[in-house]
Structure 1
Amino acid sequence: MQQRLFLLMIFIKHQSVESQKIPNSYGIVDLVFTYTRGKTFDFIKIPIATNLIQRSNANNAFILQLDQIKIALYNVKRITCTEFPGSSGPCPENFLSVYILFQHYTFKTHLIFKMEGDSSSLTRLLLNLSSITTRNNGVLNLTCSMQDSYAVQYNNKPKESFGAKLSATSLVGVIFLCSCVVLVFISSVVWFATICYQRFTRNRMEKKHRIALEKSTQQMLDKSPIITYDANSEDNNFTDKEPTCAICLESFKSKEKLRKIVCEHYFHVTCIDPWLLSHQSCPLCNRNILLNAIPSISSHIVLTDNEQTENPTAPVMNNATNDT
């Protein structure tokens, strides 16, 4: 039992040591620094393997300000040092760090490069270059390159267009949906235009019929007699002692003008004329005054007993003439 506990403790300790080596590692990235001494072919290459980790795990770092030349290749414009948390500045002579922070590159992702293996040569080079006063327009003749796959994935990943994301099936679905929307829109416009045209035609026809009826009614009124009422005359045909107008419900007075229509009923002229122009029927018996009076109108008027019973005050005319 003690032996098993001893082996378990060794395993746990080993795992903790391994986890401390690369805390929160995001992968291994191979960097290659190239320093040109002045001549074109006099240069030094320093390859270094790094682990990409969280910046919060580092207490200090070299800060390299980069200027991208092309994918996976950068020009180092300035080298400073920093201790977290704090601001960056010139590197002290005894500054030691295994961390590299790319100012152009890793600030966006909050990641930092941790140098693995022997990094003394690169550390000395970075310290020497950081102490050099900016000259030659700030060019340090130091470049840094990394593996293309990492640079493309995290730095200059091309943006995919919307069309590239759509498969053939999705594209067909989008086209079909757009076609349906356009078809529904066109159908709605056609339906609305048809309804408006039918309403316009119906209103126009009703207006023509109304004008024709008003003209025919006016012709009938011009032919109907107008009398002056005399209450003391013996020639009165009224059966009531005090005849009244069925429209205004007022008794006829002497010297008032009355109109006699075809059904032998009497009304005030000022009352019956507007009524007949609107209704073309007697207010008492509901008889149409145009029936059998004017051939051009009466031939298009049809009255039934049922219609008269249902609406005694407004006669129903199914059709009126188009030509008066």
Structure 2
Amino acid sequence: MLILKEKDILELCDWKEIIDVVYDVFERQSNNQTITPHRILINLEAQGADKITGGTYFKPSFVEGVGLGCKVVSVYPDNAKKNLPVVPASIYLADTHTGMPKALLAGTYITGFRTAAGSAVSARIMAKKDAKIMVVFGSGLQAESHILALMTEFPNLEEVIIGCRRMESGNNLLERLKTTYHVSTEKIRLVEGKGDELAAKADIIVTATSSSTPLFNGKVVKPGTHIICVGTASPKDREVDNDAVVNSRVIVDELSSCIVSGDLAAPLEQGVIKESHILGPLGDVLTGKIKARTSPSDITLYKSAGTAIMDIATAHWFTTKATQLNKGLLINDFN
């Protein structure tokens, strides 16, 4: 069994290859080559177990020709006070022919990377090819990953604007981009607040926050904009308002998870939209079953709540890459 730590994931990351891997797995999903049971949530706060505040999801999946495994991801808000990831994760892969353990990967960076890769795939198909201005709301791992993925997919972006609540957190993100990833920040700038003003000028909008209220007025979004909502899957939280949803052609990564996420659950419950307003999954766009954009003026919206097929496919890629480069810790005898 191969064990990969977070530092191994960082060293092995190749954005172009990861984006292509996620593109491929969404195509496989559309072609019925995946099996993904409903995720299981153990919410310790709800159960009142030992006064622990947090919850853990178990997300299994099988991708034909790729791999079999399960992602375990938790949400522990108090971890920030302990200098630990708020969303710790790990991914287990099993040999599809024998069921024996194949790999155990640290999953925090992979979660950020695969989500951003999925968003880059959505933008490849749904955003304007000549997109010039990207606005990213947030300053955490998801914001970081989306800047890296979308700058890879759209190298001709003229400006990347980070909309953050506090300049300190934005500056920390800039520092990580420079020191960890060696990215030139020449065309990246920080803006505190001003959600409506930023959204109005963007060709691509990324919401990567844990906000409980919409970040901007959906009425200000200009025609042709592509909106990417990835920050929260909670039924109570919202990054975009009803106007943004109503005015957009909506695509999701996985319908069952996204319709219980606040961004879509709220307008559905309020009767503002019907479920038919959601055109379908991203994979069906890639295989031509759905047309996400019908005209240059369409506003498109991609909502991602996370799907285990991305985790398994991305973990499989990292495992293969690490084996080729002799990275990680290999345990030869697991019996």
TM above 0.5, yes or no, is no
Q: Which has the larger radius of gyration?
A: 1
Higher RCO (CA 8 Å, separation ≥ 6 residues):
2
